[in-house]
Chains A and B, each alone.
Chain A
Amino acid sequence: MNSIATKNAKVSPKWQIAGWGVLLAVLALFLLNAGGLEALQSMTLITALPFSIIILVMIACLVKALSIDKKYYEQEFSVSTVPWSGKLWKDRLRQIVKVDSQNDIDSYMRDIAGNAIHELRNEFIKNGIEANINQGKEPNFIEIEIRYDLVNNFIYGVRSETKDFPEYFQMEENLSDMEDGQAYFPLAYFGDARQGYDVRLFTKDELIADILKHYERFVAIISEDKNKMFISSNANRRIR
């Protein structure tokens, strides 16, 4: 009780602890005198009720805290840092520090994503595979699509997104300035609706490599007989 009453003081004078002891004893006696053990039990019953509610609130707090904790340690390196070697490290550092504006994202969509997808498409055509490019106006998205009749189309696209920074993050001084607490970033997305990721840090060649990885995975999946049922959902619509 002393440590609750002192907000966890490391050292407490001894009279305090003794004081609690005497108080306990006196109260125990008075209540015993007033109504015996039943009076003591009634007091416990009354005072424990609000505390039981507090413990219930603790559960909510634990759930919240645990899920943040778990996510913190489960956070992995971004996909776009996987191909990094030490070669372009100065560019990389600049990219990490910078907070992208609308203009930055536009030039990314044009120079990196646009070029990567166009080059890739040409290469696909050289290999005898027909690939289309779908593009938004501004360009707020660009995607490469390879069509199939019996299984779903292969799609890999990049679209521009914004994310908000929390207030405490903006208050930190040792971070670069950000306009209205917002940053633009290119998000990869896929035809089969898997969770996309930030591809801001890819160079053009790395982005092409990433698309190819997904294409390779796609080919591996469609070549398995048992997957046919699941990946033909475009075709399945005709059954309706």
Chain B
Amino acid sequence: MHDFWGPVYICPSPTIPQKCQPRMEISKTYCSDNCYRMRCSLSRNTLDLNHRFEPMSKSRKINSSLNSGVTLPSLIFILAVCLASAIFPGRVSTVLGVVKNFIFVNLNWVYVWAVTVFVLFLLFLMFSKYGEIKLGRNDSSPDYSFFSWISMLFAAGMGIGLMYFSVAEPMQHYSNEIFANSSYVNSAKNAQLYTFFHWGIHAWAIYGLVGLALSYFAYRYKLPLSLRSCLYPILKDRIQGRWGNTIDVFALCSTFFGITTTLGFGVVQINSGLHILGVVHETGFVYQAIIVFILVSIAVFSATTGVDKGVRILSNLNIAVVIMLMLFVLFLGPTVYLIGSFTEGLGNYINNFFNLTFNTHVYEDASLPWFYNWTILYWAWWISWSPFVGLFIAKISKGRTIREFIAAVLILPTIFNFMWMSVFGNSAIWLDNHVSGGALSALANDPDALMFRFLEYLPFTKVISFMVIAIIMIFFVTSQIRGCSS
């Protein structure tokens, strides 16, 4: 019999050698230090070939599971950006500004259409006959009970962004000069509406779509749970090769910068909070570097030693604290006003849903920069997070039907975001109008500090401010650990 890989040595459970056909991908799994099991695979058909003896080569001693086809190009890109911004900070900043402006002006329609198509496609899928298809075998049942599934979806949306933007975003829309000619009521309503727009169904349609594609191809086509599998119908077996790598490189770079941005917001806000509380003397790069250093050390320490269980407990505890914080503001703020404005905001959002979806501000020159800086940037940010969040919701949703999946993913986190944004944003606007006499909105150009300035109008300012800083720090650490390992 023709032997493909040289002589066979005595190994545990030897099998008859077979020939790998051309076009088959060969992979090896080491069952001990010097023996491996070879597998030939053609798409989903895997053939166990043999146990072979082979002394481990030197390169295997560097214990790594990184795939060079994905890691190398991504690392080169990331390190190049890193290096460039370290050596020529000024020039990098200028170039980035130019590129950003170019995308804003000439390519914003790509983002607008992409997100619009995502939303419409998911809505279509939810109501179509395909909604009955299960993300898993037809005879399987979900991995998680309905209640724990929902609560995990609720938690999936929480993070640094909520802490940073809950006061800052409504406040900045509210005090924006573009909307200045409208009345208080209109400004307040618009502020809430646009915040809902950016944090609502559109954001979750992006995550939901990526999550759906990931889980669908993993659980029904039995492909690996990875982004390259999502293009299997077009690429077929090529997802194993260069094409698949290309997709993963784009996904990796995108995720990388998305998480970096979020961490950036976190650091800046922590810095600002500590400054307001008098712990540090000023805000600036040095302090931010120190904060990042401390938080990253904690993250690395807990990821490399055995305390990641502790991190999980901390992260669950954090979610409980976040909800308590929301209830605190709800009850000590203008409670009835908040409930009413949540209701009205929800109705306003539903009524304006399609208006907002298709609004490109193309006739309003004055508000175009606003549109770019908020909506387009948000869409980019959510898209960059989608591999990460998508992977998480894909993992927990095995066994759900597509209809259940889409409905839950679009609605549940959205509702939580809306409640959160209403409680914080509308409290701030109400306080600004009824208590502080415009002092809060005057600070809108310093969004890093807005959350803490807002807390100054509520009782227990210091305690709550420290609590907020702790929450952001824990979010920083947990999202870094999750982002890195996802």
Contact = CB atoms under 8 A, between A and B. Distances in A.
Interface of A: 1-9, 11-18, 20-35, 37-62, 64-67, 69-70, 73
A25 B292 contact: yes
Interface in B99-120: 99-100, 103-104, 107, 110-111, 114, 117-118
Contacts of A52: 110-111, 114, 379-380, 383
A122 to B, nearest CB: 46
Contacts of A58: 209-210, 213, 230-231
Contacts of A9: 65
B216 A11 contact: no
A142 B103 CA distance: 66
Contacts of A42: 96-97, 99-100
Given A5-B74, A24-B483, A42-B100, A62 B216 contact: yes
A61 B233 contact: yes
A46 B285 CA distance: 24
Interface in B380-399: 380-381, 383-384, 386-388, 391
16 contacts: A1-B255, A1-B483, A1-B485, A4-B252, A7-B224, A12-B65, A17-B485, A30-B85, A33-B86, A40-B261, A51-B251, A51-B387, A52-B110, A57-B231, A59-B118, A66-B216
A67 B216 CA distance: 13
A37 B264 contact: yes
A66 B96 contact: no
B141 interface: no
Interface stretch (B2-10, B299-307, B350-358, B362-370): B299-307
Nearest to B264: A40
B346 to A, nearest CB: 28
A233 B442 CA distance: 77
A28 B92 contact: no
B234 A45 contact: no
Given A14-B304, A16-B65, A61 B258 contact: no
A52 B303 CA distance: 31
Nearest to A14: B304
Contacts of A17: 303-304, 481, 484-485
Interface residues of B, number: 101
Contacts of B183: none
Given A1-B255, A2-B484, A39-B92, A45 B138 contact: no
Contact of B248 (A4, A29, A56, A66): A4
Contact of B250 (A21, A28, A54, A59): A54
Given A14-B303, A30-B86, A1 B230 contact: no
Contacts, number: 288
A64 B222 CA distance: 16
A60 B248 CA distance: 18
Contacts of A13: 63-65
B231 A18 contact: no
Contacts of A51: 250-251, 254, 383-384, 386-387
A187 B111 CA distance: 50
A54 B243 CA distance: 12
Interface centre among A7, A32, A38, A73 (most CB of B within 10 A): A7
Given A5-B252, A14-B303, A61 B230 contact: yes
Given A5-B71, A34-B89, A65-B216, A43 B64 contact: no
Nearest to A12: B65
Contacts of B67: 5-7
A35 B89 contact: yes
Contacts of B65: 6, 9, 11-13, 16
B377 interface: yes
A169 to B, nearest CB: 14
A11 B30 CA distance: 13
Interface centre among A2, A5, A15, A49 (most CB of B within 10 A): A5
B234 A44 contact: no
Contacts of A18: 300, 303-304, 484
A48 B300 CA distance: 27
A53 B265 contact: no
Nearest to B86: A30
B387 to A, nearest CB: 7
Given A1-B483, A5-B252, A54-B247, A46 B103 contact: yes
B300 A45 contact: no
A4 B251 contact: yes
B376 interface: yes
Contacts of A56: 114, 117
Given A4-B387, A13-B64, A56-B117, A27 B232 contact: no
B242 interface: no
B238 to A, nearest CB: 13
A45 B130 CA distance: 33
B193 to A, nearest CB: 23
B449 interface: no
B121 interface: yes
Nearest to B94: A35
Interface string B178-219: 000000000000000000000000000010011011001100
A47 B111 CA distance: 12
